[in-house]
Structure 1
């Protein structure tokens, strides 16, 4: 088996383990729990790992408290994170102390304080705050390539060389635009269209409708990677759950494009993997 296949196998296995513990948490008597808090535009995810950094529990909720990577409803964000924290604590019969969080690339000067405050106000000790692509690469383990995070409001592109992020950009095209196209094509209210888009039973029908938006995302990727020697593209973010999106991006870019088992859970797991017991002041 190639090194690339082994890397993808690690990612997909970790995601599968996480999906399983969301439904059936593992009570293994670990001494320490590490939590990754992913405040997404469309969905907030908490991923909990044990002292050996193995998934033991998780929870998520679709929400509208973050837009384009910025917290727009601080009270609502704190409430949801606190509720998800309490939900997991009840299942594990313990208190979750340590958490890490992440911000979209290039927004640290704008919003890192708000995200830090949300996590702390929800009752966590914040131990790390990193950018989302770096977090995702804790799971993807790309050496030379690009991580493309298609979130609700924006598409973040990070280029990695020798495993380190050397270029990041965040562009205003994402899942919201996909939902607007669905809304217009089917005459649905936005929230109904967003829900319709998330149902994978509708993906085969939706792919031709959404192809122009996906091609726009691919053109954004092409624009930002043209000066780099990119060997592979990995897709993360909830919008990438759309069945077939990877084939269109690969065709438009001409670069091998990999989509993990569940792109929505890659970044929160990477955030959790970066969590420590060293508290940020």
Structure 2
């Protein structure tokens, strides 16, 4: 897909992400001091995104962490501490209290883990106003009418089928960026932490793509399994693992379905979560 085609397909998405990337470094105070926060508790990264009354990005912060495994929180106190610290950091920059937030979970885990997620954000000092699944949040930004959203996070791959703008099926499988890092660790004889950093460096992506092709193809096989019963014409990638340069080409070749991704797929879901935030507490 050409640059122009990408810009047209992800016009709103890429614009929103570009604004968010800018305010991570240079926050903008809202004149009305009306803020909506999204809390994304990812397997490898926790992201807080803050929007103003017009749902425009005004601040953001993130931290790589390992408090979540395969989409489930395994370090409850650690998660609260990180969210609290990021919240305080943003409040100092915006010179106000961030009160309301939305949060999200991998598809299919809402009934299992929603209480823990809620306790984490409330433990960090937020009042939660919405709790939704990650692909639904992602589509707040992507605005896809038909197709499959594939969210390759740190621990899991979420697959969501969208028809006429509505979610008709969701699935979540325990394969993600953690497995990519394990492959890099084995191939380069590196400790896991060093392999994970090596994988994130865009300068290494061209070299890594052939090394990671088998695990990408495994993800593609999982995706194919879930989308085969549906008439899916396009696949849209989100999630930090999809930042790997060229991953969309491997998935398209394996699935036989055109596959696209925005300029920075890492921040799609966090921004969608913030867009779902309200000023009415969830009961």
The answer, yes or no, to whether TM exceeds 0.5 is yes
Name 2:120's counterpart in structure 1: 118
1:151-170 paired onto structure 2 within 5 Å: 151-170=153-172
Among 29, 38, 41, the residue aligned to 1:39: 41
Among 237, 245, 248, the residue aligned to 2:247: 245
- Cα distance in 2 for partners of 1:31, 1:176 equals 38
Note the alpha carbon deviations across 1:180-228, whole angstroms, 9 max, x for none. Answer: 1000000011111111101111111100000010011111111110011
Name 1:23's counterpart in structure 2: 25
What's the TM-score, normalizing by structure 1?
0.97
**Residue 7 of structure 2 contacts residue 14 of structure 2 at CA under 8 Å; is this kept in 1?**
no
- Cα distance in 2 for partners of 1:209, 1:111 equals 34
Name 1:150's counterpart in structure 2: 152
**Residue 41 of structure 1 contacts residue 68 of structure 1 at CA under 8 Å; is this kept in 2?**
yes
Note the alpha carbon deviations across 1:8-27, whole angstroms, 9 max, x for none. Answer: 11101100100000011112
Cα displacement (A) at 1:175: 0.5
- Cα distance in 2 for partners of 1:231, 1:278 equals 38
Among 109, 125, 130, the residue aligned to 2:111: 109
Note the alpha carbon deviations across 1:225-253, whole angstroms, 9 max, x for none. Answer: 00111121111111001011011111111
Name 2:257's counterpart in structure 1: 255
Note the aligned Cα RMSD (angstroms): 1.3
Cα displacement (A) at 1:109: 1.8
- Cα distance in 2 for partners of 1:12, 1:226 equals 29
Name 1:202's counterpart in structure 2: 204
Number of residue equivalences: 280
Matched, 1:140 2:138: no
Name 1:54's counterpart in structure 2: 56
Cα displacement (A) at 1:29: 1.6
- Cα distance in 1 for partners of 2:58, 2:6 equals 26
- Cα distance in 1 for partners of 2:5, 2:229 equals 26
Matched, 1:79 2:95: no
- Cα distance in 1 for partners of 2:38, 2:240 equals 16
- Cα distance in 2 for partners of 1:114, 1:28 equals 31
Cα displacement (A) at 1:258: 1.1
- Cα distance in 1 for partners of 2:62, 2:133 equals 20
**Residue 151 of structure 2 contacts residue 158 of structure 2 at CA under 8 Å; is this kept in 1?**
yes
What's the TM-score, normalizing by structure 2?
0.97
Distance 1:42 1:4, change over 3 A: closer
**Residue 39 of structure 1 contacts residue 45 of structure 1 at CA under 8 Å; is this kept in 2?**
yes
Structure 1 unmatched ranges of 5 or more: none
